[in-house]
Structure 1
Amino acid sequence: MTAKTSLDRWSERQGGVLAVLGSVNLDMVIRQPRLPRPGETIFGHRLDRVPGGKGLNQAIAAARAGGQVAFLGRVGDDDVGPRLVELLAGEGVDVARLIAEPGLPTGVAQVSVLDDGENAIVVAAGANDSADWSMHDERLLATATAVIAQLERPAELVRRAFRVARTRGVITVLTPAPVTPEARTLLALVDVLLLNENEAKELAGDLDATAAARELSRGSRLVVMTRGRGSTLVAHDGAVVHEEPTLPTRVVDTTGAGDCFAGTLVARLAAGEPLEVAIRSATTAASLCVSRDGASASMPFWSEVRAELGRRPDQPRS
């Protein structure tokens, strides 16, 4: 598959369903001045209990960016799971395949948000660890425009889903976070790889970020690599083909920024935006996201992104 072929396929399947195979968590967010040293106790500013999980974040970002989204996931049979399912349904996400797993808790993430806006996260996967599968899931994977996965679900589940998708010409999109030992073994099934510079270097080995992106794009894979306050780089088949500057933004909380970028990008590609325009839309959405507290709640609506793009007359529009 070439980048051109990939983009043609997005165009040909405009308006189709984006299947998110991902995690659903309750985030326990502590605002704090810094990370504690080993054996040290420090005081935080406050604790918030908010919806999270990379899958949930990406699904909400894609839905708010205009995508038709269906979720494939698992929650626990506790009191938390139904609230998170209801939240996604309220965002317009199809939750028919978001199932409560008997005997397991809903996933939980402990998120430390530092005063400079950076974050550190520890996840207890709970029901997200389930590799349960149904024909209902498989039918969606065979008919979607794209399937988007992260690695907060079992790698073998992602592998199986991508194999089904590829046999039907469905575009496979991977956010390899967290980078697990199995992540490299999935790359042969990935059409579009969305990651940050640290993940790129970890996946590619002893290379700088740009060289890592080029290396990961070999074999006609499209790689989109975000670099925090630096630019977003796009590579294909071993070469850098586009670079998009990051917008200057007052950073409040970086939690969920990568998920916001990924969800917006796939939604705008599915809406028919050319790659360069979709990258700008996703970059703009992420800049709005980091200027706000929280993860899923900070995902901007498409009307907000359009308004922000309208204040940048130098940016081409679809």
Structure 2
Amino acid sequence: MKQKVLVIGSSNTDMVVKTEHFPKPGETVLGGTFLMNPGGKGANQAVAAARLGADVRFVAKTGNDIFGKQAREGFRKEGIDISFMTETAELASGIALITVNAQGQNEIVVASGANMDLHPADIPELAFENAGLALLQLEIPRETVRWALQQCAGRNIRTVLNPAPGAPLGPGFLDGLYLITPNETETELITGITVDSEEALERAAQHLLGSGVQNVIITLGSRGIYLASEHFTGMIAAPVVEAVDTTAAGDVFNGALLKALADEAPLEEACRFACTAAAISVTRMGAQSSAPFLHELHSYNE
């Protein structure tokens, strides 16, 4: 029987403009292509996992508006279980304004809306039923994330925290966590260590392991990842590709990682699988729309 994975997090609509360069404060630049895509870290990760074949249950909160309705319809088309999604008439669905420059780099401003109204009372115990793995991020209230981590720990659900957007985490927040997946900026915010060398990556990973995490992955963009686990510690390189849009690379990585772990792949192997998925995603525009399907990874590795 396929292991069910639980993703709890945000759902946004991304409004994307491509431009040659980012504007300076007070500057107006003429952009090029405009795209409106489904996004949000939680939703992106849920879709990425589902497209790769995972049995995904997604818990989120949207507004009672056109963006929320479109998001739900998209999740249904992806085969995602959204039985425990809720909506509110008090707040709009989340929106992200994204600018992508000629090098594929992005700048993002998020209006969280209903995402920040997702509280523990919105998530029934049944949402955790039959889940073998869970994945959370920080685009919903911090107290909801902490509560969900505790619920998962009490049910022996292996849990992954993607601590994005980055923020310092309080004492005990990471106790018993199976895996944390910060990028370089998030790692520095959590540990106070600037990860500008492999020695610094090792120190930061040890800091996180000392905070109660069982395994650490620090994502390094085009360079790949740094993994610290019981069986492997060191760099794992990412495939070399020409980036078009890096908007959801981290989300695709986390969703793919969840899929591989649900298939009981060893962590090092799961990381290589996730690096390949993320590399494919940056060659395409958009967030969820950039997430590859399993057959594309098989073709890539042939």
Q: TM-score, normalised by structure 1?
A: 0.88
**Residue of structure 2 equivalent to 1:224:** 217
1:262 maps to 254
Conserved 8 A contact 1:109-1:123: yes
Map Cα deviations across residues 203-241 of structure 1 (whole Å, 9 max, x no partner): 11034351212321234520111111213111137x962
Q: Distance in 2 between matches of 1:70 and 1:160?
A: 18
Is 1:192 the counterpart of 2:179? The answer is: yes
Distance 1:132 1:250 in 2: 40
Cα distance change, pair 220–79 in 1 and its aligned pair in 2 (3 A): closer
The answer to whether the 8 A contact 2:252-2:274 is kept is yes
Q: Do structure 1's residue 117 and structure 2's residue 104 form an aligned pair?
A: yes
Letter in 2 for 1:203: I
3-state SS of the aligned residue for 1:224? strand
69 and 120 in structure 1: CA distance in 2 versus 1, 3 angstrom threshold: same
Range with greater deviation from structure 2 (178-187 or 147-156)? 178-187
In 2, Cα distance between equivalents of 1:90 and 1:244: 34
Q: Does the alignment pair 1:291 with 2:283?
A: yes
CA positional deviation for 1:142: 4.9
> Cα deviation per residue 1:160-210 (whole Å; 9 max; x = unaligned)?
111111011011110000013446652225221012122112211034351
Q: Secondary structure at the match of 2:21?
A: coil
- Distance in 2 (CA, whole Å) between partners of 1:189 and 1:297 is 34
Tell me the SS of whatever aligns to 1:187.
Answer: coil
Contact 1:147 1:173 in 2 (8 A): yes
CA distance in 2, matches of 1:205, 1:240: 24
User: Within 5 A, what are the aligned runs for 1:6-17?
Assistant: 15-17=2-4
Which consecutive unaligned segments of at least 5 residues does structure 1 have?
A: 1-13, 311-318
Q: CA separation of 1:80/1:109 partners in 2, compared to 1, >3 Å: closer, same or farther?
A: same
Counterpart position of 2:165: 178
Q: TM-score, normalised by structure 2?
A: 0.92
Q: CA deviation at 1:295?
A: 1.0
Identity over aligned residues, as a percent?
A: 37
In 2, Cα distance between the equivalents of 1:125 and 1:68?
A: 27
TM-aligned CA deviation for residue 302 of structure 1: 0.6
The yes-or-no answer on 1:152 pairing with 2:139 is yes
- 2:168 and 2:190 in contact (8 A); partners too: no
- The number of equivalent residue pairs is 296
Deviations along 1:132-185, one digit per CA (max 9) or x if unpaired, are 345863222253111211000001001111111101101111000001344665
Q: Which residue of 87, 102, 106 maps to 2:74?
A: 87
SS of residue in 1 equivalent to 2:216: strand
Deviation at 1:124, TM superposition (A): 0.4
Shift of 1:15: 2.2
- Does residue 1:235 correspond to 2:228, yes or no? yes
Q: How big is the alpha-carbon RMSD for the aligned residues of Structure 1 and Structure 2?
A: 1.9
Q: Matches of residues 92-103 of structure 1 in structure 2 within 5 Å?
A: 92-103=79-90
Amino acid at match of 2:222: R
Residue 189 to residue 128, structure 1, CA distance change in 2 (3 Å): farther
The residue number in structure 2 matching 1:300 is 292
- The 1:50/1:309 distance shift into structure 2, 3 A limit, reads same
**2:207 maps to which residue?**
215
